[in-house]
Amino acid sequence: MGRIRFLNAGESHGPALTAIIEGIPANLKLSLDYINTELSRRQKGYGRGGRMKIEKDQAKILSGVRFGYTLGSPITLLIENRDWENWTDIMSVQGQPTEKREIVHPRPGHADLVGGIKYGFKDLRNVLERASARETTTRVAVGAVCKQLLEDIGIKIGSYVVSIGELSVRELLEFIPLEERGKRAEDSEVRIPIPEEDEKFKKLIDLAKQEGESLGGVFEVFATGVPIGLGSYVQWDRRLDGRIAQAMMSIQAMKGVEIGEGFELAKKFGSQAHDEIFYDKERGFYHKTNRAGGLEGGVTNGEPIIVRVAMKPIPTLMRKKSLHSVDIKTKKPFLAAKERSDVTAVPAAAVVGEAMLAFVLADAVIEKFGNDNWIEIKRRVEEYRDYTKSF
Ligand code: EPS
What tens digit of pLDDT does each residue of 131-186 get?
Answer: 999 999 999 999 999 999 999 999 999 999 999 999 999 999 999 999 999 999 99
pLDDT exceeds cutoff 50 at 229:
yes
CB-based contact 181:160 (threshold 8 Å)? yes
115 lines ligand 1 (CB under 6 A): no
pLDDT in tens, 297-349: 999 999 999 999 999 999 999 998 999 999 999 999 999 999 899 999 999 99
pLDDT exceeds cutoff 50 at 1:
no
- Residues 345-363 have a mean pLDDT of 98
Rounded-to-integer distance, Cα 245 and Cα 359, Å: 12
- Residues 220-244 have a mean pLDDT of 98
- Residues 266-280 have a mean pLDDT of 97
pLDDT score recorded for residue 18: 98
132 lines ligand 1 (CB under 6 A): yes
pLDDT above 90 as % of the chain: 97
* Ligand 1 centroid distance, CA of 351 (Å): 15
Rounded-to-integer distance, Cα 55 and Cα 347, Å: 17
Residues 91, 45, 346, 48, CA torsion sign: positive
Rounded-to-integer distance, Cα 378 and Cα 248, Å: 27
CB atoms under 10 Å from CB of 245, counted, come to: 19
13 CA closest ligand 1 atom index: 10
136 CA closest ligand 1 atom index: 21
Tell me the three state secondary structure of residue 246.
Answer: helix
49 lines ligand 1 (CB under 6 A): yes
pLDDT score recorded for residue 339: 86
54 CA closest ligand 1 atom index: 10
* Ligand 1 centroid distance, CA of 134 (Å): 5
Q: CB neighbours of 126 closer than 8 A, spacing ≥ 6?
A: 115, 116, 119
User: Within 13 A of 276's CA, how many CA atoms are on the CB side?
Assistant: 4
* Ligand 1 centroid distance, CA of 83 (Å): 11
Tell me the three state secondary structure of residue 349.
Answer: helix
CB-based contact 205:344 (threshold 8 Å)? yes
pLDDT in tens, 277-303: 999 998 899 999 999 999 999 999 999
Is residue 370 packed enough to be buried (19+ CB in 10 Å), middle (13-18) or exposed (0-12)? middle
The mean of the pLDDT values for the chain is 97
- What order do you get walking across the sheet with 75-80 strand by strand? 5-9, 16-22, 75-80, 59-63
214 lines ligand 1 (CB under 6 A): no
CB atoms under 10 Å from CB of 276, counted, come to: 9
325 lines ligand 1 (CB under 6 A): no
- Residues 342-357 have a mean pLDDT of 98
Ligand 1 atom 17: residue of nearest CA: 132
Strands (DSSP E) contained in the chain are 5-9, 16-22, 59-63, 65-66, 69-70, 75-80, 156-164, 167-168, 217-224, 254-259, 277-280, 284-287, 295-296, 299-300, 305-311, 324-326, 333-335
Rounded-to-integer distance, Cα 233 and Cα 296, Å: 9
CB-based contact 367:3 (threshold 8 Å)? yes
Ligand 1 atom 7: residue of nearest CA: 51
125 lines ligand 1 (CB under 6 A): no
pLDDT score recorded for residue 2: 54
CB-based contact 147:154 (threshold 8 Å)? no
When computed from its CA atoms, the radius of gyration of the chain, rounded to whole angstroms, is 22
Query: 79 forms bridges with which residues in the sheet?
Result: 17, 59
Q: Among 3.30.70.1060, 3.60.150.10, 1.10.1270.20, 3.30.450.70, name the CATH number for the domain at 5-92+101-390.
A: 3.60.150.10
Angle of helix 346-369 versus helix 240-249 axis, rounded to 10: 150
42 CA closest ligand 1 atom index: 21
134 lines ligand 1 (CB under 6 A): yes
